[in-house]
Amino acid sequence: MVDKGTAITDPKYNNILSYERKTSWEVTSKVVEKPEISVWMILIPIVFIPYMQRYAKYKETSRAFSEGYLYTKKIALDTAYKISTKEMAEEDADLEIEKIVKTKPNADARVLNIFEKQLKEIKLLCQHYLALLKSHGDNYGQLVVNHYKSYDKFVEFLNQLGEAEREVSRAATHTFKTDTEEVPEIIENMENCLNQYRLEEAKKLFY
């Protein structure tokens, strides 16, 4: 990925990253339940303590949720940026992405399967971001519209991306089975919220 100590000033790069960050928090706000404050917490301060504990857990969960969503997006965007600036040849991108994702090349076959699904998603995103970096516009919406030209073509890409993301989720859920029965439900809820949000945003861009 791009060196963390290097601040990228390219407007297109930052517009894309800002959009993905916004998307991550929009979905997080719909999936992760925020604890509510009650009048009793004001009247009886000691009741405020468990609320703060729940709120701290909420913030930690939200941050982890957002970072998890951005993981593949950031790898793909940084790779696309390197290609667009000629820092990396496009034919070398796949190998570079694989080095980043496959942190444990000798991992269990089930974990390697997750890596493979992530690689598929990242490569799809990399082509998308590279196209946007080559597009024209002062903001993310203009970059998308000027490249995809139509709502239908953009939604076709979103459907491909959604399926790639679901494959990652299914592989991870199958590999890391949990005693928490809510996990598959949470993932499904996240996927539905993400899909709905993206389609709503696409309509705003093209209509």
Q: Please tell me the distance from the alpha carbon of residue 75 to that of residue 1, in angstroms, as a whole number.
A: 6
Q: What is the pLDDT of residue 124?
A: 97
What pLDDT is stored for residue 86 in this prediction?
95
Q: How far apart are CA 17 and CA 12, in angstroms?
A: 9
C-alpha span between 120 and 97 (Å, rounded): 10
- Residues 6 or more apart whose CB falls under 8 angstroms from that of 27 comprise 65, 69, 190, 193, 194, 197
pLDDT value at residue 51:
59
Instruction: Give the residue ranges of the chain where pLDDT is below 70.
Output: 1-6, 34-49, 51-52, 55, 58, 61-62, 105, 176-183
Between CA 125 and CA 118 the distance in angstroms is 10
For residue 66, the model assigns a pLDDT of 81
| Confidence (pLDDT) at 3 | 57
- pTM for the structure as a whole: 0.84
Neighbours of 186 (CB within 10 A): 13
